[in-house]
């Protein structure tokens, strides 16, 4: 079956469940495909084949989910026992952790098979994926342009047919940015939806793990795998009424949808393609019977400094191994220096203020079921266009201008999804973003699935892939 990679993850899972395809056959199919987009840092084909054979020998359990036996990939920020984990940094090029983190354990418990570690920028900080000494992650729609970041390798893998679904993480847009650049569905769940066990290293509450997929249903099925809480979690969300996959079959509405297009975190020009995508999405939602209302930006521009303080401290909390400090990229060193300059009381105040800002945004948007914005200010940038090693401050500003909306939903903790609803005249994908109320991924996924059904993108694949 030469076209297996054109099938959705759920379709592949159905073939495995019926016995028409084995997990090992899927691994072999993907292993034979060349990585031309800088998706993988480490491919673990031998381990994947061994795991696939063990799964088949043990047999499918009665409660196995629909993605049992399906290949996936793990972002190189996540600990994988016995498999090199570099955190996107040359300073950690030889690091092999002795344990999995909770996300990887959840993926394995659901019977998925990891094909390897996907590329990420250093410590997952930039919105581009150009790790030192490695090929950049690029979008298959134009391999001179970036795949986005920090889950750029994951998005490139799914978009190029190197994995049917992949895990990403998102602290300021790191799932939704590459989803927009690569023509995918990228879902950032609500704060607390996915456990941070066992390290609990993300102290700001900004980042959460989520799926990158070609369809809303695939993303929902993978969220069913990832979601849940550990016994040691400080806070968690209640279980959904049904599976997230089943939520895709519930037609929502009529809903009240807020919309705004004014950039949140930077003064920047919005490309006409992003405006067109947003306007077309508005008319699509209205055609589906939803009310769309213009609203003021719910987060003040003054919040940017508070976010940057927390982001800098978060970067400073991931030091290089002793003696490898010189291997860190200029942007990382610049952010770390900013973080180390923040006193304990200043950081405590910034954390509290960030939560207050988020709470006020949630309160302002409480009358609405969803919020519509563009995902990015423009189509995928050229490789190297945003990066500026000589001037990290300019690099950081370039990133803010490229991603002026995504981090708002990390601050508020609300779920948000980028949908591939538009393409430019020269074939570049342009995402549109929908955010939902906290803990209401079911409603957001139902709306996203309704949008996909009305304006399907499933059959759009990058030329040559």
Catalytic residues: 75, 150, 174
Token digits of residue 307: 């976010």
Q: Where are the beta strands (DSSP E) in 393-444?
A: 416-423, 429-436
Listed in sequence order, the residues at least 6 apart from 272 whose beta carbon sits closer than 8 Å to its beta carbon are none
Instruction: Please give the Cα distance from 351 to 204 (Å, whole number).
Output: 7
Edge-first strand order for the sheet with 113-118 is 40-43, 113-118, 71-75
The per-residue b/e assignment along 307-325, b for 16 or more CB within 10 angstroms, e otherwise, is: bbbbbbbbbbebebeeeee
Which residue in 137, 133, 135 sits closest to 89, CA to CA?
Answer: 133
Give the angle 94-42-200 at the CA atoms, nearest 5°.
65
Peptide bond connecting 254 to the previous residue in cis, omega within 30 degrees of 0: yes
Q: How large is the angle between the packed helices 330-340 and 392-402, nearest 10 degrees?
A: 90
> Which 3 state secondary structure label does DSSP give 248?
coil
Instruction: Please give the Cα distance from 407 to 5 (Å, whole number).
Output: 32
Across-strand partners of 194? 228
CB contact at 8 A, 405 and 414: no
CB contact at 8 A, 430 and 424: yes
- Helix or strand (DSSP H, E) at 75: strand 71-75
């Amino acid at each position: 079956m030469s076209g297996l990679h054109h099938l959705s993850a759920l379709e592949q899972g159905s073939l495995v469940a019926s016995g028409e395809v084995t997990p090992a056959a899927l691994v072999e199919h993907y292993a034979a495909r060349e990585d031309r987009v800088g998706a993988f840092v480490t491919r673990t084909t031998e381990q994947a084949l061994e795991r696939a054979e063990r799964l088949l020998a043990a047999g499918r359990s009665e409660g196995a989910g629909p993605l049992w036996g399906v290949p996936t990939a793990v972002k190189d920020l996540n600990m994988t026992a016995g498999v090199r984990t570099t955190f996107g940094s040359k300073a950690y090029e030889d690091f092999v952790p002795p344990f999995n983190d909770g996300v990887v354990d959840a993926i394995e418990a659901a019977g998925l098979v990891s094909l390897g570690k996907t590329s990420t920028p250093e410590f997952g900080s930039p919105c581009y994926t150009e790790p030192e000494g490695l090929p950049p992650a690029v979008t298959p729609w134009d391999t001179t342009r970036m795949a986005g970041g920090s889950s750029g390798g994951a998005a490139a893998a799914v978009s190029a047919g190197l994995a049917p679904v992949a895990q990403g993480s998102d602290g300021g847009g790191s799932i939704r940015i590459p989803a927009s650049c690569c023509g995918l569905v990228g879902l950032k769940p609500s704060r607390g939806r996915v456990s941070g066990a066992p390290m609990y290293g993300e102290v700001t509450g900004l980042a959460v793990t989520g799926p990158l997929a070609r369809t809303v249903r695939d993303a929902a099925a993978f969220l069913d795998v990832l979601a849940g809480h550990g016994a040691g979690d400080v806070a968690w969300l209640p279980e959904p009424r049904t599976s997230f996959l089943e939520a895709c079959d519930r037609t929502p509405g009529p809903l009240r949808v807020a919309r705004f297009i004014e950039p949140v975190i930077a003064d920047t020009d919005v490309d006409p393609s992003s405006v067109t995508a947003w306007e077309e999405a508005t008319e699509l939602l209205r055609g589906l019977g939803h009310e769309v209302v213009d609203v003021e930006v719910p987060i003040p521009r003054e919040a940017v400094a508070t976010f940057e303080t927390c982001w800098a401290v978060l970067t400073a909390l991931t030091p290089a191994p002793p003696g490898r400090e010189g291997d860190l990229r200029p942007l990382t060193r610049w952010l770390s220096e900013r973080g180390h300059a923040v006193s304990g009381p200043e950081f405590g105040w910034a954390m509290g203020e960030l939560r207050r800002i988020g709470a006020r945004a949630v309160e302002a948007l409480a009358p609405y079921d969803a919020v519509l914005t563009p995902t990015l200010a423009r189509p995928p940038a050229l490789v190297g266009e945003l990066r500026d090693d000589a001037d990290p401050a300019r690099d950081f500003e370039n990133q803010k201008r490229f991603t002026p909306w995504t981090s708002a939903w990390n601050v508020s903790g609300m779920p948000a999804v980028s949908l591939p609803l538009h393409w430019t005249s020269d074939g570049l994908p342009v995402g549109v973003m929908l955010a939902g109320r906290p803990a209401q991924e079911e409603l957001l996924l139902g709306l996203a699935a309704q949008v996909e059904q009305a304006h399907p993108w499933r059959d759009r694949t990058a030329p040559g892939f």
